[in-house]
Structures are given as structure tokens and as C-alpha cells.
Amino acid sequence: MELKKLVKINDYEWEIPRQGEMRVPGKIFASQRLLEEMDEKVYEQVTNVATLPGIVRASIAMPDAHWGYGFPIGGVAAFDPEEGGIISVGGVGYDISCGVRTLRTGLKREEVLPQIERLMDELYETVPAGVGSEGEIRLSPKQLDEVLVGGARWAVERGYGEPEDLEYIEERGCMPGGDPDCVSLEAKKRQHRQVGTLGSGNHYLEVQYVAEIYDRRAAEAFGLEEDDVVITIHCGSRALGHQIATDYLPVLAKAARKYGIPIREKELVCAPINSPEGERYFKAMVCGVNCALANRQVITHLVREVVTALFKEARVSLLYDISHNTCKVEWHEVEGRKRRLFVHRKGATRAWGPGRPELPERYRAVGQPVIIGGSMGTASYILVGTEEGERKAFGSACHGAGRSMSRHQALKSFRAEHIIETLRKRGIVVRARSKRGVAEEAPEAYKDVDRVIEAACGAGLTRKVARLLPLGCLKG
């Protein structure tokens, strides 16, 4: 990206000045090096989002930002329905509520290492993964509707997990406002055997250990110590979320024309939040969120069964679950007054600071856990949200390292066998359903996660709590 088009606020905050049809400025949180490595398309997309009706404060991009559908991946934008604000499929993404949850195991690294091969084998056999993967749960249309309304609560009520899990999931495990009647039969048909499955692409299940603690107070609140073994699950709403996005793109394209919304590019099709079309998409999207929460909850149950069978002393508990492809209704202070906003986070995660009543009581004094997944074979991080991040970015943070190379490029550049062997020599056990998937997700296809975290924390959006390193990785 050309720096001359940006105004430097500080080492980690840059502004695209308001110009032309832009209603607000653009904001990019990144170091100079990360900016220079960003695709020029990120600049273009941040600028385009800034022209949309009802946008508040700024069109925002995170340090891991890269080109996406309409909005950049790593994009954040808030819209006020009282000022004609819109809702956009491109602002949420195709994998609705793709997210991460991290589980504490109560185990130490030295306890797990002798059994890591067996543990990864058992997880491979137990957790369905891969393109089109299906689980043991078969849902009737009525049961699937219950999932779309009930989310993780539905799963816990049927024995997939423990009631206390719900306290440590955004929205307490169920986002209100979903209406299964707004979800197509095709979407439901594609999902009826996918609850409790990992999927493919960048999704994974990773056994990790805490390599370093940076913030003792927050780590104590989160129940983390050095050498603790944790398990992180990264997946979303599977085929249902993708089909919802596919179904509503033409609906919102027609709505944009109907309501005279100027669109810079066709991928930014949208509808007013308060329109019938906008309301139906929002209700369908909520169903996608709840589907993803149920999915990760069932996988958690499967992981618990494996870990507790192999390690009798294990106590698997949920640290936190966050989504990073959503549109959520939130109250934020803007220009001195509280406003009800629809906050789009696409490849970005919510990151509340301390004191928010939405947070679990255990975490309220320090802030929300922010889980940042690295690429296969690299570090992941537990961060904590800040009050400064709420002011600057509607309480948002990056969601991962961010791709630096397309999947097609990665497939041409790397061999799965070489990646798996290289990681094995570093003590990381990989189990994968697809060699293609391993090559596409090569660690070298992603940005340096350490530099991304440095930028997010340098900008004040988050603070570092713990650095995690992998012991084993399950891929689709």
C-alpha cells in the first residue's frame, strides 16, 4: 500500500482522509511494515465502505487486514439505523460467526507430551473434519430450527457440554433475534448433518501450551499459567452460513436499487437496517451465528470426551468463545452520546475493555479475553480488550495473522509432506484429512502473527496476556 495516500497519526494508526463520496475517514491500525505489505485493494475497500449510508466515526481495518468480499477481511464498520444505516452481506462474510474458542485442560505440557501422538490420533478419529464432513448428529427440519434459535444453549440442554460453558460464550451462547423462517430450505438441507464438524480451509483444532505470560493479573483471571495445555477450536457455521450469504446477495442487490443506495462496487450490496430486506437478512444471519455456536459447543463435548478418557486428571473448562464474522447490535458512545449501532466485524473480533456488564463476572475487572489464532505451526495469543479500543474501534481487534498469499499461490509453492515433516521436527504433530488443505494453509502463507499482535497492542486496541505454541494440529 502507498503510504503517501495516508496520514500518520502514530506508529500504529493511519488515516485515509475523508474525500469525495466518503462520509467518514478511513482508519488502519498497523505498523508501517504491515501497511507496506498490504494489498492496495485494502485501501480501496476501506474507502468504499466509508461511502455507505449511516456509517459512524470511521471505516476501520485491523493489522491483519487483506482483500475480501466487499469489505476487507479485518474490516470493522458501525451503522446507525436512525441515520439510514445499512446492513451488508460483505460486511459479515460467507462463514457467518466463524470463530475461536479456547479450552483449559487442567494439564501441563510435560503430562501431555508423552501422549501427544495418541491424543492427536483420538481427536482425528472423533472430530469430523474436511470438506463436506458430516457428524453423527442427524437433525430433522424442526430440530435444526431449534439449533438456529437456541445456539450453544440447545447443545448444552441435550447433553453436549456443561451449563457453566454458556457463561463464557459471547451472547451467553445464544444470540437473540434469529428467525428460521428467514433461512432457506436449501441452507437447512446442507446443514442437517454438519453440527459438530470442523470443516476445512483455515479451520483447525489445535493442542497448545502457554509459552509465556505477559499480564499476570489478566492471566490469573483467565486461569492461565506457564506450561498449561489448552485446546483451541476454530470453525464456523459451515454450509448453512455460506448458503445464507449466497441467498441474500441478490436480495440485498435488489434492495440497494430499490432504496437508491449508491454502491461503489457490486460486492457492497446492502439494505437499510430498518427495511424488510435488511431485517430478514439480520434474522437469518443471527441463525447463522447460533448455528456456529452450537457447532463449536458440540465439538467441545467431543474434545472433552477424548481428553478425559486419555487423562483421568484432566478438567476441561471453557476459557472463552468469540466470533469474528458478525453484525451485532451494540451501544457505543459517539460524539458524547450513547447510540445503538449495528457493528459489522468481518475477520475481526469483539474486544471489550474492563467493566462491561456483558462480560463474565470472573473477567469483568480485567476485560474480555481476545483469542488470536496463528497459522499452523506458529504462535497464537490470548489478549485482553481495552477501554481505548472501545473508543478507537468500537471494541474490536484483529482475529489472526491474516493471509499474505492466496490459497492458489500457496498450493503452487508448498508441498504438504514437506510441511508436515518440518513441523514434526519441531515437535508439532499434524493430522490432516487433506494434503491440499495443508499446502493451502502453510505457515508461510500468512503474515507474521507476532508483528500483527505488536500492532494491535501498540495501537491500544488490546494488551498481551499469553503466548501459546502448538503441540498438535488437526486440519480438515
Query: Is residue 48 part of an annotated ligand binding site?
Result: no
Judge whether 380 is annotated as a binding position.
yes
What residues pair up with 78 in beta bridges, in sequence order? Answer: 56, 343
Q: For the chain, what is the radius of gyration of the CA atoms? A: 21
Count of CB atoms situated within 10 Å of the CB of 309: 11
3-475 CATH: 3.90.1860.10
The question of whether 399 is a catalytic residue gets the answer yes
Cα 341 from chain centre: 20
User: Any known ligand binding at 192?
Assistant: no
For residues 76 and 244, give the distance between their C-alpha atoms in angstroms, rounded to a whole number.
21
β-bridge mates for residue 466, sequence order: 213, 382
Residue 234 annotated in ligand binding? yes
Q: Give me the residue label for grid cell 501497511.
A: 35
What count of other Cβ atoms lies within 10 Å of the Cβ of residue 166?
22
Q: Are 188 and 284 in contact (CB under 8 A)?
A: no
- The backbone region for 434, taken as left when phi is positive above 0, alpha when psi lies in -120 to 50, beta otherwise, is beta
Q: What is the DSSP letter of 301?
A: H
Residue 423: partners with Cβ closer than 8 Å, 6 or more residues away: 376, 377, 429, 430, 473
DSSP string, 155-182: HHHTTSS-GGGGGGBGGGG--TT--GGG
274 carries a ligand binding annotation = no
433 neighbors 3 (Cβ within 8 angstroms): no
* Annotated binding-site residue? 237: no
Catalytic residue among 192, 242, 399, 408: 399
Q: Is 1 annotated among the ligand-binding residues?
A: no
The torsion of the CA quartet 87, 89, 94, 96, rounded to 10 degrees, works out to 10
Residue whose entry in the numeric block shows the C-alpha cell 498449561: 228
User: How far apart are alpha carbons 391 and 100 in whole angstroms?
Assistant: 24
In the chain (476 residues long), the average pLDDT of successive 10-residue segments reads 93 97 98 94 97 98 95 98 98 97 98 98 92 82 94 97 97 97 95 88 94 98 98 96 97 97 92 98 98 97 98 97 97 94 98 96 98 91 98 96 86 90 93 88 89 98 98 92
Q: 362 — phi, psi (to 5°)?
A: -60, -30
Query: Would you state the pLDDT for residue 200?
Result: 86
For residues 188 and 62, what is the distance between their CA atoms, to the nearest angstrom?
33
Q: Quick check: pTM over 0.85?
A: yes
Length of the chain as a residue count: 476
Residue 132 in grid coordinates: 463436506
CB-CB contact of 282 with 177 (8 Å): yes
- Residue 258 has a CB neighbour count (10 Å cut-off) of 12
Residue with cell string 509459552 = 211
475 is in an annotated binding site: yes
Judge whether 205 is annotated as a binding position.
Answer: yes
Residue 57: phi and psi, rounded to 5, are 70, -60
Amino acid of residue 439: A
Q: What pLDDT is stored for residue 132 in this prediction? A: 76
405 annotated as a binding-site residue: no
Question: What is the domain partition of the chain in residue ranges?
Answer: 3-475
Identity of residue 242 = H
Cα(131)–Cα(189) distance, integer angstroms: 16
Spatial contact of 259 and 271, defined as CB atoms under 8 Å apart: yes
Residue among 134, 90, 450, 155 nearest 295 (CA): 155
User: Residue 324, annotated ligand binder?
Assistant: yes
Cell numbers found for residue 393: 474501534
Query: What's the N-to-C CA distance of the chain in angstroms?
Result: 33
Known binding residue 120? Answer is no
Would you say 404 is a known binding-site residue? no
Q: Consult the annotation and say whether 401 binds a ligand.
A: yes
